[in-house]
Structure 1
Amino acid sequence: MTHAAQHAAHTQRVAIVTGAARGIGAAVAKRLAHDGMAVAVVDLHEADCADTVDAIKDSGGTAAAFGSDVDDETAVASAVARIAAELGPPTVLVNNAGIGGPNLGVEETSTRQWDAVVGVSLRGAFFLTRAVTPYMTAAGWGRIVNMSSISALGDAGRVDYASAKAGLIGFTKSLAFQLGGHGITANAIGPGFIVSDMTRVAAQRRGRGFEEHQRIVAQTIPVGRVGRPEDIAHTASYLASPGAGFVTGQIIYVTGGSVY
């Protein structure tokens, strides 16, 4: 281990989690704080991050809120600079921010919708990674976790979302090749059905109550239940840990056994 890596291992690491105001991002932020990291809670509006930050602080952790449009490279560069100044150089990045559009066929998907979905999920991950990598390289240590989806394997009716999430897999593997020599790993998580605002909206589109929708979906999942944000947080915690230093370029599907 290099001197820089040894130093990083004995100081409080700083993690950035995007899309962390609620859902999976909030659960990941709380878990990384529980693991001893100082967490930059990032979402579109800083005020929306208050609940996550307060929960972390109430549990004795360190966190601060930062507002940024991840699809705006100038805003991202500014936010990362602020994070480094206020919390310290970030060496853990969880690219979780993402949006989903309505279930539409390729002919009905507008250019504007495509750009919005791909912009937040894929281009946003690129902007954040590009801004954070110099800090990781300087430390000789880093962990990048990209939030893909089981939809990366194909999703009837959401060509934009599936394409963005599949793109994250190629992005992840390329990062693993490029950055491994600097002590930086890059991996992706592919959640299945997770209780979230997005799956709640999906239930509404099917004309179902959310509880009913969860019961129906659970019957198709081998472990017999739907996923919770904490299920994803557990996996992110491992991939962001020193113990995952020999794991890179991988996608871990956290789906309860469901496959497309």
Structure 2
Amino acid sequence: MDLGIKNKTALITGGSRGLGLASAISLAKEGVNLVICARSKEDLLNAEKTLQQYGVNVTSLVQELSDEKSVTEFYNKVKSNDSQIDILVNNVGGSLGTSSLVKSKLKDFQKVMDINTWVAISLSKIFVEDMISNGWGRIINIASIYGREHGGSAPYMAAKAALIAATKHTAIDLAKTGVTANCIAPGSIKHEKGSWEKFVDNNTEEVVEKFIDQNLPMGKFGYPEAVGDTVAFLASKNSEMILGTCLNVDGGQSNSLF
């Protein structure tokens, strides 16, 4: 299937590993040029080598995204490279070790909201203007199944729920512009340096097997490539009629009906 996005340019935050790198690889296979960012220069260089094997242009930028100032800095870096962004994948996120409302400090609650919701909204607002002018664009936000049902920490759950809601509203606002906005809600995806790899490494085999048996219908953790391929489809010309949706990529893990 021709996804019709060859020679488009995608910006992927947190693109050096995990779901971000998997998304970049899936897009690169479709001939999409890439701008990726991450905090680690070493991880970025490794990702760049991997992605260049697909014959696309790859720009990697060291940038931590956590607040309005960092978003502005990043935008200026992207623009200085003369990159026209057609596809925006907001992948940066995390729970930052928070837990319940009672146990989490308010400043940590705010940090989780900032990195998971505010950064994605800020980048979308900045880059969507050019997409509208061009009459085409794709915004893809990486949410979580815990943005739709109970799970994870209170700040993380609230942040991902807010991201899903903002994406829905944005999609309707943009419906006549040629720009789409959608979410992907991954379940427990295991990848190098990820939280579920740490869970496996830090627990006994019995604990891990019990978790899988009780929570993962497929009998195994998810894998990043499944998320990456979903990103590529939502970025494609074939996804034009998909607006404001949130697609679970969770192997049946989620209990939510909607």
What TM bracket, shorter-length normalisation? 0.7 to 0.9
SS of residue paired to 1:154: coil
Q: CA deviation at 1:152?
A: 1.0
Amino acid at match of 1:105: S
97, 113, 117: which one aligns with 1:118: 113
Q: CA deviation at 1:181?
A: 1.5
Q: Is the contact made by 2:146 and 2:152 (CA closer than 8 Å) also made in structure 1?
A: no
1:176 aligns with 2:171: yes
In structure 1, the residue matched to 2:135 is 140
Amino acid at match of 2:195: M
In structure 2, the residue matched to 1:201 is 198
Task: Provide the TM-score with structure 2 as the length reference.
Answer: 0.88
Q: Return the structure number with greater relative CO, CA threshold 8 A, min gap 6.
A: 2
Matches within 5 A, 1:212-227: 215-219=209-213, 220-227=215-222
Q: CA deviation at 1:75?
A: 3.1
126, 134, 139: which one aligns with 1:131: 126
1:243 aligns with 2:217: no
Q: Percent identity?
A: 27
Q: CA deviation at 1:250?
A: 0.1
Change over 3 Å in CA distance of 1:249–1:163 after alignment to 2: same
Q: CA deviation at 1:12?
A: 1.6
Q: Deviations over 1:187-208 (max 9, x none)?
A: 000001100311133446xx51
Q: Is the contact made by 1:100 and 1:198 (CA closer than 8 Å) also made in structure 2?
A: no
Following TM superposition, where does structure 1 have runs of at least 4 consecutive aligned residues deviating by more than 6 angstroms? none
Amino acid at match of 1:16: L
Provide the aligned length of Structure 1 versus Structure 2: 249
Counterparts of 1:118 and 1:145 in 2: how far apart (Å)? 18
Q: CA deviation at 1:249?
A: 0.5
Is there any run of 5+ residues in structure 2 with no aligned partner, and where?
none
Q: Is the contact made by 1:194 and 1:228 (CA closer than 8 Å) also made in structure 2?
A: yes
82, 85, 88: which one aligns with 2:83: 88
Q: Is the contact made by 2:67 and 2:115 (CA closer than 8 Å) also made in structure 1?
A: no
Q: Is the contact made by 2:99 and 2:155 (CA closer than 8 Å) also made in structure 1?
A: no
Q: Which has the higher helix share?
A: 1
1:258 aligns with 2:232: no
SS of residue paired to 2:140: strand
Supply the RMSD in Å over aligned alpha carbons.
Answer: 2.1
Q: Is the contact made by 2:94 and 2:116 (CA closer than 8 Å) also made in structure 1?
A: yes
Task: Provide the TM-score with structure 1 as the length reference.
Answer: 0.87
